[in-house]
Every structure is written in structure tokens, then in C-alpha cells.
Amino acid sequence: MRKSFYATSSTIITSTVTGNSNGEITLSMTAANTANLSPGRMVFDLLITSPASVKTRVIEGIIVISPGVTQ
């Protein structure tokens, strides 16, 4: 996840295959990583690498981080 397509720094989103039979993938972040996020718009994509090392982008999009209201 990056601030823009051209940003050099990024935040890691972990992906786990949770449903082999139906292609379900779960994306998650640690509490420490989410605590360090600043409000704003971010971009992301998810690449899957085949056993033959072929990378395929399966999803991409925009994430909007809103500031918290409660503490």
C-alpha cells in the first residue's frame, strides 16, 4: 500500500489463502502497522506468483484511511 503509484515507501498488507477451493484470500495488517497510518488516500494491488514465478495482478484499488473519532 502506497500514498501514490510513484511513492517509494510502502506499508505491508499480509495476504493469506483462506479458501483454496473457492479462491478466497484474506488481507490483513498488524495493529502496529495500522497505528502508523496517516489519514488519506492510498493505493494497493495484490500480485499472485505462480510456481513458475509468473506474477499476476488479481486486484487493485484505493483505500481511504479516515481519522479515528473515539479513543
Q: Does residue 41 belong to any structural domain of this protein?
A: yes
Does any domain span residue 35?
A: yes
8 domain-assigned: no
Total tally of structural domains belonging to the chain? 1
In a domain, 45, yes or no: yes
pLDDT tens column, 9-57: 888 888 888 888 888 889 898 888 888 888 999 999 998 888 999 999 9
Inside any domain, residue 2: no
Does residue 3 sit within a domain? no
Note down the domain range covering 24: 14-65
pTM: 0.71
Position 71 scores a pLDDT of: 67
4 located within any domain: no
- The secondary structure of 5-71 as a DSSP string is TT-S-----EEEEEETTTTEEEEE--HHHHHTPPSEEEEEEEEEE-TT--EEEEEEEEEEEPPPS--
49 in a structural domain: yes
The confidence score (pLDDT) of residue 19 equals 82
